Every structure is written in C-alpha cells, then in structure tokens.
Structure 1
Amino acid sequence: MNSSLQFLDRLLEVIEKNIAPITSEFVKEGNMLFGGAILTKNDYALVCADTNKITEWPLLHGEISCLRTYNALPAAERPAPTDCIMIATHEPCALCLSAITWTGFDNIYFLFSYADYKPIFDSTKILKQVFGNPNGEYRRENAYWSSYCIAKLVDDLEESDGRKKALQGRVAALRERYNGINKVYEEVTKAKGIHIPRVTGE
C-alpha cells in the first residue's frame, strides 16, 4: 500500500482530470457515473482511462470499459498488469472485482466505498445473494490483490502543513462533482425513457 501525499495527490488528479471529464460526457447518453484508470507503478504515468458505457453493452461498467481500453493497446505500449495501479472512482462491484482478478492486477485504489454510493446503487446485494456474505463485503486483502479506499487513506494521513486538509477538500469536491454527474444521469434516463436493469434482491 502506498499512502504518501504525492501518491494520493496523483490519484485524485487522475480522477479529476482524466476520469471525471469523460464520465461527464457519457452520462449525457444515459451511462452511469462509474469510471476507472490505470497508471504505471514506477512513475504514476497514465496508461488509460475510461468510463461506464452500459448503453453500448450492459457489462461495460467503468472498470470493465477501462480494462477493455487497456487490452486494446499495442503490446509494446501495454505494461504488465502487475506493473500497474488500478484506480476506480467507486468501489468495484462483484463483476468488476472478478474482471480485475482475471486480468492480473494486484492492487485496486477506489475513491468512494460501497457505503458512500449505496443510495445510488447497492453493490452489496450480489455479494449477499450470490456469495452468501450477509454483510455484503469481500476480502480486501487476498491472494490475488489488495484494495484500498483513497478517501480513507487521506483521512488517515497525519497533518502536514495543511496538505492533508487540502486533499480532504479535493475529496469533498469530487463527492459533490459526482453527485452532480449522477443527477445528470438520472435526468437523462428519465427524459429519454432509458431503462438500465439493476440488481434489486435483498
């Protein structure tokens, strides 16, 4: 796990500049607010970023869409998954966790947890119903990868010349930004009569 100020600053920058702008455009078509990006571990360079495109295909969740973009890169330009960092704007659902596992990434950093976006979409329901976990949780540390909540890593930092407070402010701003993105999604799907199948089991 990397929880340095420089690293967390970079993760937030990628969400702010590389993921959220794409998502803001695609929600206008009725796609959801979830997105992802891949960075190199050695210098945090952006490999690719993408967003939810479920109006194209229901399985194109944000992370899946990002993995598809990553896999489409020429082999010479595509670093090995174990040399990369997987970023998700929201804690990955069961589908995306499986896809990340099969693709070979050994780490996941997400900004918002299941609890943060439960009012929008409850990703714990499949975990409860299919995998029999009454809490709708999964093992964030396992033989395949480790996953970390960026917002929590920021909150756990020790204060350093106001830089922790600045990062917390950016997390809060992104929370508001994504609330706005989701509002656009809801308005568009209602106006266009777009129905996106959702898992509703308790």
Structure 2
Amino acid sequence: MEIKKNADLVRRLLDVMEHDILPLTETGVAQGNKVFGGALLRKSDFSLVMAETNNETENPLWHGEVHLLKCFYESPVAKAESTKDMIFLSTHEPCTMCMSAIAWTGFDNFFYFFSHQDSRDSFSIPHDLKMLKEVFGLEPGGYNHDNAFWHGRGIFDIMATLPDAEAQPLLDQARRIRDRYDVLSEAYQAGKDDNAIPLN
C-alpha cells in the first residue's frame, strides 16, 4: 500500500509525536535516557499501534526504535499486525543500527522529524553521523534514502512540498514540538554523566 505523503500524514505524525511519544520520553529522560522515540501506525487509517521511547539505561541497544520493536514483538499485537501494513515513525533520523532493525523487521518505510545533523548540533549527540563516517565512510545524508528495503523521509521535507496554507499550521505545531524537545535535551545533557550509557 502506497503511503500518500500529504498534510494529513504529516499532521498525524506530529500529533503522535506530541501526544503519544513525548509523554513517554519525558518519563524516560527523567530516568536518564536519551530523547529518542518512535511509533508504529497503520497505513490504512493512521491509527496508532504502539509508541515507545529510548531505554538505554536498561540496555544500551534499546534506542528508541529498537526498544519500540522489542516491545512490539513482546506484545500480542505483533501476531495480528504485519509490518508491511505499518508506518514507522522515528522522532530522530535513525542510526545505522536502527535502520538495520527497521529493515530486518520488514518495514518498507520510516519517517523522521529531527535529522542526523539536528541530533549532533541541537542535541549534542553526534554518534549517528560519526558512525556513518567512521564505519561506512559516508558523509551526512550519504546513505540511500530509497533502497531495496525501505524509503526514508524527513517530515520537514514533506512539509516543504505543501502549499503555504497547509504547511503553516503544521510548522507551528512542529515549532511547539521542537520547544519541548529543547527542554528535554537540556535535562538529558545536565544528567548524562550520572548514567551508564556507553555513548552518552
């Protein structure tokens, strides 16, 4: 099923970030975890299947996306839902591990709000770009966003294609979301030396 990349999709992705992922992330950051999270939505009607957040203080592999997949496969809903029928929403552009996890679990898409550059510059978490450069020799944005496994799209890239009248309320909501993440980032950075996350 083709996902129509329009204002309705963006509005729903932003709503899930604001109302489903962010409350979980606020709790997670208070426990020493990073600000990354994700959600699964049905392609058919954009209804929420599951939302989760980073849980690296339990296990450094539990990035937002991987922790979401772990929780999904531990839930009965995994037996009733096909990953091919779902949208994968990531608050931040997935790292190489999370991109691979998305592929291995059969998703054919992911959408993200913050870019790898945002993670480095706005959140002081440079590991995604460093991993791409050091392990794979790729410059920022150098991986294939369209490949045999999935199509990856930035939410702001979709908004840039919309008419101004449709884009403006979405940009206003996006600004509100960014403001909340700024607060969470400050809280994480202030306490990160107290956690045991290897790449904090």
TM-score (norm 1): 0.91
Letter in 2 for 1:198: L
Does the 8 A contact of 2:116 with 2:140 survive in 1?
A: no
Q: How does 1:1-202 map to 2 (within 5 A)?
A: 1-74=3-76, 78-119=80-121, 120-122=124-126, 123-135=128-140, 137-160=142-165, 163-190=166-193, 193-198=194-199
In 1, Cα distance between equivalents of 2:45 and 2:11: 13
Structure 1 letter corresponding to 2:197: I
Counterparts of 2:186 and 2:65 in 1: how far apart (Å)?
21
Question: Cα distance, 1:194 vs. partner?
Answer: 2.1
The verdict on how the C-alpha distance between 1:87 and 1:75 changes in structure 2, with shifts beyond 3 A counting, is closer
Distance 1:176 1:77, change over 3 A: same
In the TM superposition, residue 7 of structure 1 has moved relative to its aligned partner by 1.2
Q: Which runs of 4+ in 1 moved over 3 A?
A: 75-78
Q: Percent identity?
A: 37
Distance (Å, rounded) in 1 between the aligned partners of 2:15 and 2:149: 27
Does the C-alpha gap of structure 1 residues 149 and 133 become closer, same or farther in structure 2, counting only changes over 3 Å? Answer: same
Q: Which amino acid in 2 is paired with 1:57?
A: N
Q: Does the aligned pair in 2 maintain the 1:128–1:136 contact within 8 Å?
A: no
Give yes or no for contact 2:117–2:129 (8 Å, CA) kept in 1.
no
Between 166-175 and 51-60, the greater mean CA deviation after superposition:
166-175
| Partner secondary structure for residue 58 of structure 2 | coil
TM-superposed deviation, 1:108: 0.2
Q: Does the 8 Å CA contact 1:70/1:78 hold for their aligned counterparts?
A: no
Deviation at 1:34, TM superposition (A): 0.1
Q: Which runs of 5+ in 2 are unaligned?
A: none
Q: Tell me the number of residue pairs that the alignment of Structure 1 and Structure 2 aligns.
A: 195
Per the TM alignment, residue 5 of structure 1 is displaced from its structure 2 partner at its CA by 1.3
Amino acid at match of 1:86: F
Task: State the shift of 1:30 in Å.
Answer: 0.5
Change in 2 beyond 3 A, CA 1:24/1:75: closer
Aligned partner of residue 190 in structure 2, secondary structure: helix
Question: CA distance change for structure 1 residues 136 and 151 in 2, over 3 Å: closer, same or farther?
Answer: closer
1:154-181 Cα deviation digits (max 9, x unpaired): 1221123xx3111011111111111111
Deviation per residue, 1:94-129 (Å, 9 max, x gap): 110011110110000001111122122121111111
